[in-house]
Structures are given as C-alpha cells and as structure tokens.
Amino acid sequence: MKYLSEYRDPAIAQALIRRIRQSASRAWPMMEVCGGQTHTIVKQGLDELLGGAVELIHGPGCPVCVTPLEQIDKALALAARPEVIFTSFGDMLRVPGSECDLQQVRSRGGNVRVVYSPLDALELARRNPDREVVFFAVGFETTAPANAMAVWRARELGVSNFSVLVSHVTVPPAMEAILQDPANRVRGFLAAGHVCTVMGWTEYEPIATRYRVPIVVTGFEPLDLLEGILMVVTQLEEGRHEVENQYVRAVRREGTSPARTQVERVFQLVDRKWRGIGMIPRSGLGLRPEFAGFDAERRFGLEEIRVEEPAACRAGDVLRGHLKPRDCPAFGGECTPERPLGAPMVSSEGACAAYYNYGRLRPLEVVETS
Amino acid sequence: MGIPGRIVARREDQGLPMGMVDFGGVRRECCLAYVADEAKVGDYVIVHVGFAISRVEEEEARRTFEVLREMSQLDELEWIAEVADASLAPWERWAR
C-alpha cells in the first residue's frame, strides 16, 4: 500500500543502520514513547539489528497498559449491571481487574461488546433506547478526538442513554515524570507520531529545553523509526536538545486544530493515576462540567471506588524503562498472554506481549556483523 | 495506532462529515470531521478508531522517501569505496 511499503525498504534500512552505528560514539539510551513503536521495533528486531549502537528503552505509551486497576474495576462493575451494554475497544477485554476481566464478566452473562469506534457505541445506544450504553473511553491524545466527538454528538442528537467511563491520559506529563525520576537514564525521546498528528509539538519544546533532551517526533514504519533514532543520535553527538520532526508527512507543528479544539471543548485536564506508576498531576483528561451528565462514574455512583495495585506485576518498572520485560521474574512463567498478571502482557502495544510474541524469551547473544 | 488510507467517497450523516476510506483494499466508513476542510476524495489520511486525524501530505511523503533513498545510494557508493580493493579499479590499472 502507498505510504507503507516504501517505508519498509530493507536496503534503505541497512543504510540507516550503518549510519547510526557510525554516528553513535556510545550506546545512548533513548525512549520510544509509543507502544505502537515498541511493537514495530521488537517485531522487526530493529534494536538487535542496531547491535547495541543505541539502547532503546520502551516507554509508557500503551493506553491499555497504563489504565489504572481502579478504572478496570469500575468497568467490571458497570459491565455486570443488567441494564448496561458495556462497549470497549477489543484489547481492554482481557486486562485483569482485581477479581476478573471483562471477558469473564461477559461469559457470566454481562453484555460486553467490542466496538471499532466510539461512534459505533453511540449508534448502539440509539438502537437500544431501553438500555444504558457505556463506552470505556481510554487512550492518549490520539484517541481523545474520537471520544470527544462521541460525547458531543450524544448531546447534539439528544442520546440520553449513552455515557462514558473516562480514563484518558496525556503524554507530556508522563515524559516529565520519567525525566524527574532520580533513576532516569533516558537521554532522548522518539515522540509518538500519531499523538503529535493531533497535538503538534509545541508542548514538547519547553521539555526539550528544561531537561536538555532531544525529542524527535517519529512515525511507525521501520524507516521512520530508524531515521528518528539517527536524528536523536545526531543531536546527542552535537550536544543539541531540540524538538525535530521526522514524521513530516503526517505531523504539523500546530497539529490538527479542529481535533484539538474538539478535545478542549469536551475535556479538561485532571489528575490521573497511571497503572504501575501512580498519580501524575494534570496528566489525564476528564469531562468538562457541562458534559458531566455523560459521565458514567457519576451516573452509576462509582466515584468512590479506590483500589490498590497488586505487587506481583512489575509493570511500573517496565513502563518507566527500569526493567526489560524478559528480566521480570514473572515473565513467561507466571505471566503469559494466556494468563497475564498485568496489562503490558495483554495489549498488542504492550512491551511484555511484544517480547513474548516475538520470541524474546531470554537475553540474546549479540552477534557481531561487519 | 493509526493507519494511512485513501478517501474514496464523502457524505454527511446528520451534519457530520463522513467518508469511505480504502486501506489497501479493505474499506471502512470513517469520520472526516477533523480533516473536512483540507482532505478531499483521493487524499490519504491517517485514521485512528474510525476518525481521520491528519491528512498525509503526498509531496512530503515522496520527498522524505527520496531523501532516504538517495542516502542509501550514497551509502552504497561509500561502502564500495571502503571495501573494494582500490588496486582492482580500472583507473588504478591504467595508472600502472
């Protein structure tokens, strides 16, 4: 397909890899923020092809992985209610809550439906006026415009049996939390290209300046990632710390303003818990007061549910880049995609699932190539 | 994750701009509200959970790819210069 196959050209990938190896005077540790990027890196083995020329640390940008246990438990409570049709993106169904997961609630008779788009959930509400349709609105800035539109349309069309369980998070506060961590090793970022298609990159400029880290807005194809890595390495070698854009074909500095505007109309910044990381101030999106009628937590009285994270899953260390998935004691034994202990083993964008599914079961020996 | 697709038809659903988007043969209806002013039939857009969130600039896509390809060709020339035995090059033989 156009704009996909070109960016997978193996000869060009080889050339980029050679250039990265030539440019890097040391194995600079850098973080790819987005789980989609982690997926490509591990699937294509880009980190291994680079042979230690840089160290790729996998970031927290997997929406399923960072949704706190508390929100999962609220979803489970809602899905079990007889009057509710609970709708969600497919990858949330197997994320373990305190007691079970959404799939198990469904097998016990809960009406849980997978939707492709939040507008499909809204359509379901219009077709089932005698039921309450709740949509699990998770995700980063990439998904926020879609979820904002569903709420906006529900109000516009007067669909009163539709509500959303919101667990939205935003990238820049998470990057700052990582950089403020005393144990942080990250020296540069590949910023998430599709988050930036919506938001642009102005928010990253003060972060690059304050923490003196290069931030390169990067796409998702192998060549995008390799070029983004090369751009970060070049900045580090030259002692620069700027925001640059690798993903020029899809990202503009100001983002897609109609989408940003719609997000701002419906949502406002709120404090949000991240699974495995904890509370990050003003890192999430919640409904504005004028849309409070569409807030499922309020409609069904779930605001008071508070849950502590379990200790066995070390998702927090993985999401902050302190632990590679295969170095976790539970990885591949106690925790597998069939019986996941935590969300990073469930989602296709989770680092643990990517390592497991692409055979990274034990540390590989580095093979020297010329 | 978002993926690129090409708009093949546009319509409105009670005031909401919608469109059929082709993803390499698989077609799906998507909301075009956020790119309504800039994307027309035939344009590529990045689609995420049923919403076009950005128009792909074809000219930029081509330019980026060309830069990468030129770099790779240049790289191949450098590689040849590095590893090939210079004494076997025709001009070296002429010089003898």
Q: What is the ipTM of this complex?
A: 0.90
Beta carbons within 8 Å of B12's beta carbon, 6+ residues apart:
B18
Residue A193 has pLDDT above 90, yes or no: yes
Task: Determine contact: B6 vs chain A, CB below 8 A.
Answer: yes
A 83-102: CB under 8 A from B: 89
| Distance separating alpha carbons of residues A10 and A7, to the nearest angstrom | 9
A contacts of B68 (beta carbons < 8 Å): 9, 12, 15-16, 223, 227
* Closest by CA position to A61, among listed A332, A264, A359, A343: A343
Task: Determine contact: B81 vs chain A, CB below 8 A.
Answer: no
Bridge partner residues of B46 (DSSP): B4, B54
A contacts of B80 (beta carbons < 8 Å): none
- The answer to whether A157 contacts B1, with C-beta atoms less than 8 Å apart, is no
Complete domains list, chain A, with CATH: 5-60+172-192+201-245 (3.40.50.11750), 65-170+255-299 (3.40.50.11740), 315-357 (no CATH)
How high is the pLDDT of residue A115? 95
How high is the pLDDT of residue A10? 86
Q: Give the pTM.
A: 0.89
* Closest by CA position to A60, among listed A358, A368, A344: A344
Mean pLDDT for chain A overall: 92
A 37-76: CB under 8 A from B: 39
| Distance separating alpha carbons of residues A102 and A80, to the nearest angstrom | 9
How high is the pLDDT of residue B73? 76
| Distance separating alpha carbons of residues A183 and A119, to the nearest angstrom | 42
Beta carbons within 8 Å of B25's beta carbon, 6+ residues apart:
none
Percent of chain A with pLDDT over 70: 95
Task: Determine contact: A2 vs chain B, CB below 8 A.
Answer: yes
* Apex B79 CA angle, A220 and A214, nearest 5: 40
- The answer to whether A249 contacts B49, with C-beta atoms less than 8 Å apart, is no
Interface test with B, best of A9, A168, A197 (most B CBs within 10 A): A197
B36-82 pLDDT per residue, tens: 999 999 999 999 999 999 999 888 888 877 888 887 777 666 655 55
Phi-psi sector, A368: left (phi>0), alpha (psi -120 to 50), beta: beta
Write the single-letter amino acid at A345. Answer: M
CB-nearest to A3 from B35, B51, B56 is: B56
Beta carbons within 8 Å of B91's beta carbon, 6+ residues apart:
none
A230-260 pLDDT per residue, tens: 999 999 999 999 999 999 999 999 999 999 9
Token pair of A294 as six digits: 């569409």
B27-38 pLDDT per residue, tens: 999 999 999 999
Residue A145 has pLDDT above 80, yes or no: yes
Cβ distance A217 to A246 under 8 Å?
A: yes
